[in-house]
Chain A
């Protein structure tokens, strides 16, 4: 198996890191604007623009995910963990597509025009209704907190795999040569070991939650 196949395609990796920066920035700007007086209006404009971009990026990512195969997970990732990885990946895709739509529909429900970048006007996608607005507004916050926790779990899991198990998990999504980790005896992507799950590591696997 070549080193190339042990990684996601270059396009997937670019999309992943672009999405990582965008999502984290959008969430932090969102929390900041809800807690801000003087910069409220400016931050709201930035947040809406970022949120719309996140949505577009994730539509592209869904298409990309369905048309590209993921590299194998490191050997030693067991069945339960595979299930958790697949579930968290699906969950993050769903929430990151839903969150911009919740934001858009909540603004629609409050009866304000939804404008992007100061000039693009979006149609209303929910009826003007205060109770609906209240539900969607709370949902927007709940999903934001869930995303913060999912990002925490996602990054923590990859860090523990990469640094504690040293199984090269992070390498699947990084750029550059293999120098840093390939010195490690068990790094460098999937390696068939004697462990129970090891042989399955050669098969294409679901992309780890990204």
Chain B
């Protein structure tokens, strides 16, 4: 770093002219604008103005539910299960996916309640989730995140985002602001309609007798290359229980599930509902007509329930885009958005220690 004495200067024996300095600095400045500018534009926030990003969802969950490091952004309260899918082979008509050949594929799963606060008390009206990773962690694994409602409440990432913000509890009343929710529903008639459908299907007594649905449509592709649009559901083989009045135990839904599983495995039939031409494949708020063909492909059996811990379903991102060959995502815009936000959630919780599980299978209230 030796600088000569000449005017305007020299470097390592090279004379430096004022013009040279200006041209050099201008070129460097130009390149830095391109290099750093492209980076800031790509990663945001420079280029994300007005556009929904995964970070916007992270911020929205934090605003509505508070920050809970180490937990999932949504469905924060949950419990891990393991079991298997016993396929009867009927699904191979529609898909070449190996899990649908006759036989067993082990799975990991997680029951959860919707919402980003892991400390919330269980409530019957809160959407129940069941995530499954069939064949995890093998190459041909099939991941899914299902809900116990007949249709999803949103048909776009923007709709989900707006509903999330509108559902924020008013600190004075402890409930969402009705005026805000009314304005949201006016702007999102698809959600208003979906909520009506949900109201016609009141929740069952608990997790064990709930029907869980994929909600989004997917394409099943068979060996001949035929692509069939499908939605799937898990239909409980446990008899319907009579819903009980609300309990004071904040974990009553999960505790009932733990008791149920203590007395034996729980079973659901995995049903494929086949779309017909004209059925909506990219709007999960719209139910398909009742008369659709349904294929019973086998039984999902959940044998063990575990407190969330390292190595079990706590660490699985139930990304609906992780699909085996033979199953492909539909054009539903929620699917890639779910993938992106789930990934943002996983990244923020992975390796964050100190997030104590909120459902402990060894501490069931009597």
Within 8 A of A (CB), among B15-50: 16, 20-21, 23-25, 27-28, 31-32, 35-36, 38-39, 42-44, 47-48
Contact B137 A128 (CB under 8 A): yes
- Find chain B residues with CB under 8 A from A76 CB: 11-14
Known: A76-B11, A112-B319. A35 touches B43 (CB 8 A): yes
- Find chain A residues with CB under 8 A from B27 CB: 159, 163
- B286 contacts the other chain (CB 8 A): no
Q: Chain A nearest CB: distance from B170 CB in Å?
A: 28
- Find chain A residues with CB under 8 A from B7 CB: none
Contact A164 B351 (CB under 8 A): no
- Find chain A residues with CB under 8 A from B52 CB: 37
Contact B13 A196 (CB under 8 A): yes
Contact B42 A133 (CB under 8 A): no
Known: A36-B53, A37-B336, A198-B13. A159 touches B24 (CB 8 A): yes
- Selecting from A4-12, A25-33, A48-56, A58-66, the interface stretch reads A25-33
Q: How many residues of B contact A (CB 8 A)?
A: 62
Within 8 A of B (CB), among A98-117: 110-113
Q: Chain B nearest CB: distance from A134 CB in Å?
A: 3
Known: A35-B48, A35-B53, A41-B339. A131 touches B31 (CB 8 A): no
Contact A40 B24 (CB under 8 A): no
Q: What per-residue 1/0 map shows which CB atoms of A192-207 lie under 8 Å from chain B? A: 0111111000000000
Contact B39 A78 (CB under 8 A): no
Contact B31 A159 (CB under 8 A): yes
Number of A-B pairs, beta carbon distance below 8 Å? 168
- A42 contacts the other chain (CB 8 A): yes
- A21 contacts the other chain (CB 8 A): no
Contact A28 B38 (CB under 8 A): yes
Known: A31-B43, A128-B137, A148-B35. A164 touches B20 (CB 8 A): yes
Contact B137 A151 (CB under 8 A): no
Contact B316 A78 (CB under 8 A): no
Within 8 A of A (CB), among B153-169: 157
Contact B12 A195 (CB under 8 A): yes
Q: What per-residue 1/0 map shows which CB atoms of B275-298 lie under 8 Å from chain A? A: 000000000000000000000000
- Find chain B residues with CB under 8 A from A39 CB: 336
In the complex, what distance in Å separates the CA atom of A78 from the CA atom of B11? 9
- Find chain B residues with CB under 8 A from A135 CB: 351
Contact B13 A195 (CB under 8 A): yes
- 7 closest Cβ pairs, A-B complex: A134-B351, A195-B13, A164-B24, A76-B12, A134-B350, A40-B340, A31-B42
